[in-house]
Amino acid sequence: MKFRDTFSLAYRTVRGNKLRTGLTVAIIAFGIMALVGIRTAIAAMEQKFVESFSSMGATGFTVRYKEPRFRFGGQELKKEKKGEKKEKKSNIGKPITRQQAEAFKANFNFPAQVSLTMFGSNDAVVSVGGKKSNPTTRVYGGDENWVDQNGFSIAYGRNLNTLDIQTARNVCLIGTDVAKKFFGDDLERPIDQIIKVNNIPFRVVGTLNPKGSTLGMTWDNAIITSYNNVRRFFNSNPNASFNIQVKVSDIKLMDAATGQATATFRPIRKLTTTEDDNFAIDKSDSFAEMLIGLLSSLTGAALIIGFITLLGAAIGLTNIMLVAVTERTKEIGLAKAIGGKQANIKWQFLFESTIISLFGAFFGIILGVVVGNLFSMYLNTGFVIPWFWTITGIIICTLVGLLAGLYPAQKASRLNPIEALRYE
């Protein structure tokens, strides 16, 4: 028999046992769907994290007074660097003051854009006339570079300017959600209108284009004003600190920029040559990298689920192939009697088990990609196909099919043709 004839016979046999084949394919497909589906969802989450937390891209970093912490899943996470020395207690609890931040911006002699920012509030109430918002609006204090540094863009009106910052005028930019709540879908209507934020009047000078949300927190329900206004009206915490955002034009300049930032800021923080830095410099995508690292445990869970399911599927496929050998004993004896070789019989059964396994891979990959991308649609990210795990799933199913069919194929190929023809 030729290779093509052997494969064709195996395929017809698989098609002839629809129920048996369908059950085995379903078991294999479930395992591959779990693996590919979870990996697709993880890829969508990684994409969302990078988009949300890396607003300055790979060419930005932030100077903070301590390492950033972030709450995720009820736990506080801290980004740690390899080889990092433990912070001295004398260097802890020294926020970056306005004078220090402004001194850095004035003395940082490097081709980069610098923005000073201070967080104001996450529970502000916005009111226009007799209409009020829930206490969920976030207030950010920034300067003329804040919008660009944080991945926003102006829809209508203008950005904050240097005069707004220096004179602390009560002007602000508003996010899309705030604009639509009080002025409807036309983002131009709020311009030059007066709104009250915690009963403090502000004139709207610009509206922002939508940015979306991250981990359930929307970036569009926000008010952006000058950092001087935030210091006056929204931040009574004496330990409140400024953050300094720096953005260079080329990723090749990052190392030089961070080095220059350290050299510029150490004298401003009054550090001697023997003292450690009492500030931290982290890249703009540090949160994304930290959270993406946590997702590796989900990949491990997907592998365990897929392995257990595929192990059960392999055992079931082996049993089905053994039953097929028993049912087709006479057919095997007849094939051998008319000149069929052991290799032909062996390859026919191996092809059958592999075809069944690859059918499971095909349907499992499709279902996994569909299920995973339903999650990506919820996150408003692009269509994701985890190519590595898709190819890995195909390879795994091919091996499962070959291994599951190996013993039944050898058993069939070694049957004595005379005894096989007499089998009842």
Domain boundaries, the chain: 3-53+290-422, 66-278
The helix (H) or strand (E) run that includes residue 119 is: strand 112-124
- Token pair 């209508």 is found at 156
DSSP state of 90: G
How far apart are the C-alpha atoms of 84 and 317, rounded to whole Å? 52
> Is the model's pLDDT at 153 over the cut of 80?
yes
The helix (H) or strand (E) run that includes residue 349 is: helix 342-378
Nearest Cα residue to 284 out of 31, 79, 19, 8: 79
How far apart are the C-alpha atoms of 384 and 40, rounded to whole Å? 6
The SS3 of residue 380 is coil
pLDDT value of position 356: 86
- Token pair 């203008």 is found at 158
pLDDT value of position 91: 44
pTM, whole model, 2 decimals?
0.60
pLDDT band at 321, cuts 50/70/90?
Answer: confident
**Choice among 2-16, 82-96, 384-398 with the minimum mean pLDDT:** 82-96
pLDDT value of position 242: 93
pLDDT value of position 5: 66
- Higher-confidence residue of 206 and 418: namely 206
| Average pLDDT value for residue range 139-159 | 92
Q: How many CA atoms lie within 13 A of 397 on its CB side?
A: 32
List pLDDT tens digits, range 253-283. Answer: 888 999 999 999 999 999 888 888 889 888 7
Average per-residue pLDDT in the chain?
81
Nearest Cα residue to 222 out of 240, 243, 204: 204
The helix (H) or strand (E) run that includes residue 131 is: strand 131-132
How far apart are the C-alpha atoms of 228 and 164, rounded to whole Å? 9
Angle at which helix 3-16 crosses helix 342-378, to 10 degrees, equals 60
How far apart are the C-alpha atoms of 258 and 370, rounded to whole Å? 42
pLDDT value of position 69: 59
**Choice among 16-20, 26-30, 103-107, 390-394 with the minimum mean pLDDT:** 16-20
pLDDT value of position 72: 45
| Residues linked to residue 138 through DSSP beta bridges, in sequence order | 222
pLDDT value of position 398: 87
Nearest Cα residue to 65 out of 290, 225, 247, 269: 269
> Is the model's pLDDT at 293 over the cut of 60?
yes
Would you give the end-to-end CA distance of the chain in angstroms? 26
Identify whether the C-beta of residue 65 lies closer than 8 Å to the C-beta of residue 94. Answer: yes
List pLDDT tens digits, range 16-40. Answer: 777 777 888 888 888 888 888 888 8
| Average pLDDT value for residue range 47-57 | 60
> Is the model's pLDDT at 371 over the cut of 80?
yes
The SS3 of residue 329 is helix
> Is the model's pLDDT at 46 over the cut of 80?
no
Identify whether the C-beta of residue 176 lies closer than 8 Å to the C-beta of residue 220. Answer: yes
pLDDT value of position 85: 47
Q: What Cα–Cα distance (Å) separates residue 389 from each residue in 80, 219, 397?
A: 29, 33, 12
How far apart are the C-alpha atoms of 155 and 93, rounded to whole Å? 39
Burial class for 383, CB neighbours closer than 10 Å (0-12, 13-18, 19+)? exposed
Identify whether the C-beta of residue 361 lies closer than 8 Å to the C-beta of residue 397. Answer: yes
Considering the chain, what percentage of its residues have pLDDT values greater than 90? 33
